[in-house]
Structure 1
């Protein structure tokens, strides 16, 4: 399967990312950029976006980019640093670039942004299986 098409297939089979309203903005081999708008039901008790929202967006970008190389890839360790709070109506993006595919493990740092402002840093380790994406 063409690598840049894999994220679109993944999104079509992903009810959680679909519920979040995640959209694929750009997709190519080793790279995927996604975005979404913060909705009222995503807010915490302080009226700010729950930390899991920016985490989920970055994790989706990470997973989609890792899979563009044609093999099923799954995250095995991830973490996030929240830098700025997010509000209802904010549009955020996350872009994952995974350039080197030399072994079973891949490492990535993803910036979650509100326009040009970095609001979170996500770090991930992905494991590449031998299973291939097929049409």
Structure 2
């Protein structure tokens, strides 16, 4: 499993980056918060990586901070929340906004995130309230 990448930022988009690590380019999906923290193309970057493996795909998800990665892992542990939705959630709310929203049962704030309906928001609250 890939847990960390450090290399040259080759391409930067709001939802993904390509990092060149000694001649190998890794495409990494990132939340918006990580996008804003990264330097310019050509700079050296370091990302914590969550490697998602399915029988038909291998996808890398990158994070600028350990807490972002930890929250991502907790989000995908919730029934009905896959990696793509977890990235969308982390792009819609910062960790500092997401944790209080879950702890205080703020359904309105959670359902304002694209792709998060009432049932998903309720599951997030029930399953994560005591874990965050």
TM-score range normalised by the length of the shorter chain: under 0.3
| Bigger relative contact order (CA 8 A; separation at least 6) | 1
User: 1 or 2, which has the higher strand percentage?
Assistant: 1
User: 1 or 2, which has the higher helix percentage?
Assistant: 2
Structure with greater Cα Rg: 2
